[in-house]
Amino acid sequence: MALIRPVILSGGAGTRLWPLSTPGFPKQFATLTGEDSLFTQALHRLAGRPGVSPPIVVTGSAHAELVKVFAAESGVDIHLVLVEPAGRNTAPASLAAALSSDPDDVLVILPSDHLIRDQGAFADAVIRSVEYAAEGSVVTFGVVPSRAETGYGYIELGEPLPGAYEVRRFKEKPDQEEAERLTSGGNHVWNSGMFVVSAAGLLMEASRHCPVILAGVTAAMRAPVDGIVELGAEFLNVERISLDHAIMEKTENAIVMPIDVGWDDVGSFEALWSIAEKDGRGNVTSGDTVLIDVEGSLVKATSRTVAVAGVSDVVVVETPDVVLVVPRNQSQMVRDLAERAESD
């Protein structure tokens, strides 16, 4: 079996979960679910499995020190840290990891801010996908939908394969009516943004479909120093583009493997509320909170007592610097609030 190399993508500002997540301390490092951060969970996702080598982590210069600290605390050895001078989305980050790997390595490209509750089932799916990747396919995992979700892209399933499907087409984030149709039809899955592909295969696809991006990333590569590669200034000139748009929507070698592993990208307070344990009135609380006649709400205190009364379906988050109050079903507005707060 080919050597499996996890690639942990740890960029982004995580502003949809502001103020718990900030540009200097994004959501993957915050403790949002359980005792471990999402980044720590990502490091452990495949660690210790047969054939799995230490991961490559791709991050920004602002978070490189956090990566080192959290990796040391997790006990997971990191093969290499690739430090971007500025984020350029998942395609350039993944290509940098491929250029840093042995051509025969099978890369498992994993965002660091996703939640997967059933780690064992996910690891089993990765093992099943490796054979396809070693043969030249680009495998993506499609999450079996549990609801009509407008916050995710969708993948339409094509011809069946053993344990997988050909990709018929990718669909952008739908409106509510379209999401309900896609979910009820039975032949669409959520686009998880996780991929399995050999390093050589990914570079081959890039040479066909985004050669300018590949050339820019190649020019930015530098020799590692103490396990760290500081990508050069050439990286700043690389197009900001996702792996989906750069390669997956263009390649003829895309395969989707449906999974049901308790996945969520925890992309909003609505999502965080939906996956968390609730009290008898549907509330999710954390820290020193006092609630009277409150239902369906998320209330989190980090540095002082937070008292809430007589409301339903709200998000109240307190940090030493900020207090956020927003209707739970409008938690996508948090990004705009974060941007406005940062600019003031």
pLDDT tens for the chain, 344 residues: list them: 568 999 999 987 678 899 999 888 898 998 887 678 999 999 999 999 999 999 999 999 999 999 999 999 999 999 999 999 999 999 999 999 999 999 999 999 999 999 999 999 999 999 999 999 999 999 999 999 988 888 889 999 999 999 999 999 999 888 888 888 888 888 999 999 999 999 999 999 999 999 999 999 999 999 999 999 999 999 999 999 999 999 999 999 999 999 999 998 888 898 899 888 999 999 999 999 999 999 999 999 999 999 999 999 999 999 999 999 999 988 878 989 988 887 76
167 and 282: one domain? no
- pTM (2 decimals)? 0.91
Same domain, 234 and 300: no
Instruction: Based on the fold, state whether residues 102 and 32 are members of the same structural domain.
Output: yes
Structure tokens at 94: 């993944």
CB atoms within 10 A of CB 179: 21
CATH number at residue 146: 3.90.550.10
Rounded to 5 degrees, what are φ and ψ at 58? -110, 125
The tokens of 99 are what? 């250029």
Domain span at residue 77?
4-264
Residues 157 and 37 in one domain: yes
With tokens 């899955």, the residue in question is 189
Among 157, 161, 158, CA closest to 143: 157
The Cα–Cα gap between 40 and 149 comes to 27
Type of residue at 171: K
| Domain identity same for 247 and 310 | no
Domain boundary among 264, 280, 305: 264
Residues 159 and 278 in one domain: no
Q: What's the Cα-to-Cα distance from 93 to each of 7, 55, 81, rounded to whole Å?
A: 9, 14, 11
Total number of domains in the chain: 2
Indicate whether 160 and 250 sit together in one domain.
yes
* Pairing between β-strand 254-259 and β-strand 138-143 as defined by DSSP bridges: parallel
**Based on the domain organization, do 183 and 154 belong to the same domain?**
yes
